[in-house]
Amino acid sequence: MASISFLTLSTFLSIAGFMPPPDDILNMICAWVLLAWFSMAVGLVVGSLSTASESVDRVWHVISYLFLPLSGALFMVDWLPKRVQELALFIPTVNCTELLREGYFGTRIHAHYDLSYLIVVNVALTLIGLIAVKRISGMVEGE
């Protein structure tokens, strides 16, 4: 829903002249796909764990709310001190957000991201999630 809203509003505002068009739409699409992949992989892991334990389901809601300020949506990595920048880039969503910003703003900002790290994390989480789903699927009974 957020993607459709963003696409609709940004297209309308760009056509109306209230907002400049993105600098590099391919970077923006790449960032969106990588973020969607990360979300899917985390969903597999958390879904499997919450099926196995009801407490994971309860704790995950709190963790997801606490994760928002760390996700990269509320800050730019370039604003942070050098040591904190390195730590922030360990959070996969920060890399996605920075790539998205670079796609929109281009050279007007200095984006920091590591695509190879992000892809390795996504592959690892996907494999863990698929293994977890396979294991938990034998324990789930239909209603």
Question: What are the structural domain ranges in the chain?
Answer: 23-137
**Mean per-residue pLDDT, 106-130:** 96
pLDDT band at 116 (very low <50, low <70, confident <90, very high): very high
DSSP-derived letter for residue 64 is H
Work out the mean pLDDT of the chain and round it to a whole number: 92
Summarize the confidence of residues 5-33 as an average pLDDT: 91
pLDDT for residue 88 = 96
pTM of the model: 0.89
Mean pLDDT of 86-113: 95
For residue 51, the model assigns a pLDDT of: 87
Is pLDDT at 16 greater than 70 in this prediction?
yes
Q: How far is CA 57 from CA 33, 43, 67, in A?
A: 26, 12, 15
C-alpha span between 42 and 125 (Å, rounded): 7
Note the helical H segments in the chain.
2-16, 25-52, 54-67, 82-88, 92-105, 115-137
Please give the Cα distance from 33 to 68 (Å, whole number).
19
Closest residue by Cα to residue 36 from 103, 132, 126: 126
Cα dihedral 24, 27, 31, 34, rounded to 10, equals 150
